[in-house]
Chain A
Amino acid sequence: MEMLNIEHLTKLFPLKKKLFSRDQQYVHAVDDISFKIEKGKILGLVGESGCGKTTTAKLLVRLLKPTSGKIYIGGEDIAGLKEENLKKFRKNIQMIFQDPYESLNPRLTIHSTIAEPLIAQGLYNLEKIHDALEVVGLKPPEGFLYRYPHELSGGQRQRVAIARALVIDPIFVVADEPTSMLDVSIRAGVLNLMLALRKSFDLTVLFVTHDLAVARYMCDDIAVMHNGKIVETGNAEEVIRNPKHSYTKALLSAVPIPDPRAKRERIRIRGKVV
């Protein structure tokens, strides 16, 4: 069954008008994209910086309003919903942000941070907060509840962000580069945690990353984004072993290989001198 189905999703940002110019120009941040995610699957959205990944992520959780297109979640289109009608969906969809240092409010304790979405839904319950901390491996929960973000390591902060996203039992999670700010050794732990959670809660996940090795490890399917458009989608292993689109090939050829004997041909998609 499809959990998420987006059709012709588009987001334009108006550019500052040039003096005396009559036409309004736009950045096509997300340019007519369509894809589906089956329930319980992880879709990787990959592409280089500025290609539109974060904008897509924000549209799906309706932190941004689409210019046009449809976003069906569990069958219902949320693309055009007004803020007051979105509340019910806010409970089902959660987002984990790129930077654990920015996404947590430094003045809130871990307890208040995780309580926030519960309170917003009128579901506050201390036991739930305890459970969420245990699930993400912050044990014993009492040892973390009344600490502040600056008293935690980067990996622990990202675990708090995950606990906060999961505490209201969402059915769909959008994770925007959740490990790109983390050290490698911590990164592996957070990735494994997300895989384990997906399994136990049957979560559907959109996993945004520019790291194809991470996408291969995490995702069932991969969608490759370039200049606001999806240029290729398919089974993760298949896209990586057998890329069809020239941009996917170029992207793959830029990934460093942890093996000094590996020889890779670099495919350049831009001219050499910039």
Chain B
Amino acid sequence: MDTVLEIKNLGMSYDTTEGSVSAVDNVSFRIMNGEAMGLVGESGCGKTSLGMCIMKLLPENAKITNGEIIFDGEDIVPKTEDEMRMIRWKGVSMIFQAAMNALNPVYKVGDQIIEAIVAHENIKKEEAREKVRELYKLVGLSPERMENYPHEYSGGMRQRAIIAMALACDPKFIIADEPTTALDVIVQDEIIDEIKNIQKKLNMIMMYISHDISVIAETCDKIGVMYAGNFIEYADTFALFDNPLHPYTKALMSSFPSIEGPKKELKPVPGEPPNLLNPPRGCRFYPRCSYAEEICRNERPEFIESESGHFLACHRVI
């Protein structure tokens, strides 16, 4: 299988008045042709920031401090904004967190997607309109709905339209950032099903960001677990569920209720994630880890392949 995306030692930080926030630190992973990767971790761990690095849509105060983002054989880190404009939409496209609330209320939804296509592809408006009709069918919306305004859509319909927009220029890689978090169970389930089918059908690679590990279990081939800006475990979905190795991953797994199997007591991870202005010097999970040893306090564990295809950053397991 070919590698479509490879991230090597990526680091990104935000400059703030209080200092530098290390939001993505020493992250490495690859996504192969046709694969969906799930990215999990608690709020503030850097999931969206990582997505924004790959899109190179960073705010003024953010900078990529080191590493490479090799997409389709080329490192995009040194690329200029002009070059990125070519890559965005057609190469990498993103379904932004809470984007369904960002549709412009005064324009028809269909027109907003048509505009996006015309701005990025060299085609006429009428062709673009035809394309949007096809996209609507693909995401399970009736094409007549193109004539409606955002407030005439339900939350689920708006999210479908956002997905259609992200697919507008036939990207090879799609980043979906919490696409169902604001939706209720039934609508969430419909959207997940839709995204999964489309990803397979169009043979895109996908990075699916969610804090809900059950959603990831159902959608993704691989799972990356982030903690305080670091990748701490990365493996095949089955391997990660059958044999989670990192203490944080194990803790995360036991903090989810399920409707299946025996009823188990939930064990929340004690404490809070560290302040990324001044993260712990050694392992960033050290203050909350029940397995911590002296070395964990002082030395950052390296992210290495501990079993074939199973990557891990922990002193104890290796």
Contact = CB atoms under 8 A, between A and B. Distances in A.
Contact of A274 (B157, B193, B265, B268): B157
A235 interface: no
Size bin of chain A's contact surface: 35 or more
Contact of A210 (B157, B185, B190): B185
Contacts of B255: 184-185, 187-188
Nearest to B189: A254
Contact of A211 (B183, B185, B190, B261): B185
A257 B251 CA distance: 17
Contacts of B261: 259
B218 A213 contact: no
A260 B241 contact: yes
Interface stretch (B4-12, B55-63, B206-214, B278-286): B206-214
B41 to A, nearest CB: 9
B107 interface: no
B289 to A, nearest CB: 14
Interface in B210-269: 211-215, 217-218, 237-238, 241, 251-253, 255-261, 263, 265-269
Contact of A188 (B157, B183, B268): B268
A274 B156 contact: yes
A260 B142 contact: no
| Residue with the greatest number of chain A CB neighbours at <10 A, chosen from B213, B218, B265 | B218
A273 B259 contact: no
| Residue with the greatest number of chain B CB neighbours at <10 A, chosen from A213, A266, A269 | A213
A127 interface: no
Given A211-B185, A274-B141, A256 B218 contact: yes
A77 to B, nearest CB: 32
B134 interface: no
Contacts of B269: 185
Contacts of B258: 213, 257-259
A258 B142 contact: no
A138 interface: no
A57 B77 CA distance: 52
Given A184-B42, A212-B185, A274-B140, A256 B192 contact: yes
Nearest to A214: B257
Nearest to A189: B268
Contact of B142 (A212, A213, A237, A273): A273
A221 to B, nearest CB: 15
B238 A258 contact: no
B69 to A, nearest CB: 27
B187 A49 contact: yes
A255 interface: yes
A254 B187 CA distance: 9
B38 to A, nearest CB: 10
Given A258-B256, A261-B238, A262-B260, A188 B266 contact: yes
B104 interface: no
Interface residues of B, number: 49
Interface in A196-230: 210-214, 216-217
Given A183-B211, A213-B257, A274-B141, A257 B186 contact: no
Nearest to B194: A272
Contacts of A153: 272
Contacts of B214: 213, 256-259
Interface in B159-213: 160, 183-190, 192-193, 211-213
Contacts of B259: 212-213, 216, 240, 252, 255, 257
A261 B238 CA distance: 8
A35 B187 CA distance: 27
Interface string A230-258: 00000001001000000000111111111
B3 interface: no
A157 B35 CA distance: 39
Nearest to B269: A185
Contact of B185 (A48, A185, A189, A240): A48
A250 B186 contact: yes
Contacts of A253: 189
B298 interface: no
Contact of A192 (B154, B251, B266): B266
A255 B253 CA distance: 17
Contact of B42 (A185, A255, A259, A262): A185
A270 B252 CA distance: 34
Nearest to A252: B259
Contacts of A187: 255, 268
Pick the 7 closest A-B CB pairs, nearest first: A254-B189, A188-B268, A258-B214, A49-B184, A189-B268, A256-B214, A188-B255
7 contacts: A48-B187, A153-B272, A185-B255, A217-B257, A257-B259, A258-B258, A260-B241
Given A189-B268, A217-B266, 10 more contacts: A213-B257, A216-B263, A255-B185, A256-B215, A258-B256, A259-B260, A260-B238, A266-B193, A273-B141, A273-B142
